[in-house]
Structure 1
Amino acid sequence: MAAQTNVSNDLVWQITRNQNCFLVRRNTGGGSQFSRDPLNLVNKHSFKYAGYANTKAVGVQGTENGGVSVTTKKPSNPNQPGKNFVTVNYGPNAGTRKVYKGVADKTAQNGYRADLREEAVARVSAVRRSQKAKKDTPAQKPRGAKARQAAEKAQE
């Protein structure tokens, strides 16, 4: 039988909410607070999204080869945090719908964290969109007075 900790998620959050290594404070924008936690789906400093403070958490990150890595935290063994992470990698050729379904299923299984399903799928979408190559748009042709000026220069 594995030993359980007596520390609740709420207590961890109350102790670490003002100072932790993931906290980013900005003076602009009304003193906004953000989080660099890899298990934080929206990078917002709040208890709901804090992966380090919750026993069940989901993280989505892009990989170097253009794929997506989905990390979940197992609540079963809190005393060994190094063994609590399960990572599923989707390659760059994996279909977007397949990745969405995998993330949605991961958050819905056995009541894991259904409240994070929408944010997780949105994060996958944003990561996939950022990995796409930018299309080269041709320069727009000048119109009106600029077109006349260009035509006059071409005739000279």
Structure 2
Amino acid sequence: MSSSHLQWLITRKTSSFILKKRNVKQPFSTEPLHLTNRHCFKYNTFIHKNVIGVEPAKDKNGFVVAMKSQKKVFKPKASMVRFQIKSGPRHTLAKLRNIVKSGYRKDCTGAVLKKASAIIRSEKVRVPKKVKPTKKAE
């Protein structure tokens, strides 16, 4: 296996996941499991050994954590481990923080927690405020 820095130098300008926009200096990335959607070395999901990603759950209850396991490195589909966390907002974020601290990319802790909390916020049901009826002037 080559180093992640060498892989980045080879694929940074020719990746099929680059999304360039006019008048934007930093290109975007459309990679699956990407945390910030910025095309950069730190958050690239293909070149690093340890990758952790957060996705919304299909049943709109909690989120799905996807991690690359080290056992099946040469089988990309089999190397992904996915599990759902759905036990309340505070408890799920605490669980996710413990998972990240236990050996999965400590430099990406903030981005993982931001994405997870954004997913939790988007699933929250908003109740519209009741509008008080105005009294007619007689």
- TM bucket (normalised to shorter chain) is 0.7 to 0.9
Q: How does 1:82-121 map to 2 (within 5 A)?
A: 82-91=77-86, 94-109=87-102, 111-121=103-113
Deviation at 1:138, TM superposition (A): 3.5
1:137 aligned partner: 129
Aligned residue in 1 for 2:75: 80
Give CA deviations for 1:86-110 in whole Å, capped at 9, x if unaligned: 111123xx2112211221122111x
Residues 115 and 138 (structure 1), Cα distance of their counterparts in 2 relative to 1, 3 Å cut: same
Q: Secondary structure at the match of 1:31?
A: coil
More helix by share: 1
Bigger radius of gyration among the two? 1
Matches within 5 A, 1:30-69: 30-66=24-60, 67-69=62-64
CA distance in 1, matches of 2:4, 2:129: 50
Write the distance in 2 (CA, Å) between the matches of 1:131 and 1:9: 35
Identical amino acids, percent of aligned pairs:
26
Gaps of 5+ in 2: none
Q: How many residues align?
A: 137
Residues 27 and 140 of structure 1, relative CA distance in 2, 3 Å threshold = farther
In structure 1, C-alpha distance between the alignment counterparts of 2:59 and 2:37, rounded to whole Å:
23
Amino acid at match of 2:50: K
Query: Whole-Å Cα distance in 2 between the matches of residues 10 and 54 of structure 1?
Result: 9
Whole-Å Cα distance in 1 between the matches of residues 73 and 59 of structure 2?
32
Where structure 1 has 5 or more consecutive residues not aligned to the other structure, the ranges are 1-5, 143-149
Q: CA deviation at 1:55?
A: 1.0
State the alpha-carbon separation in 2 of the partners of residues 105 and 89 from structure 1: 15
Local SS of the residue matching 2:54: strand
The question of whether the paired residues in 2 share the 8 Å contact of 1:39 and 1:50 is answered with: no
CA RMSD of aligned residues (A): 2.1
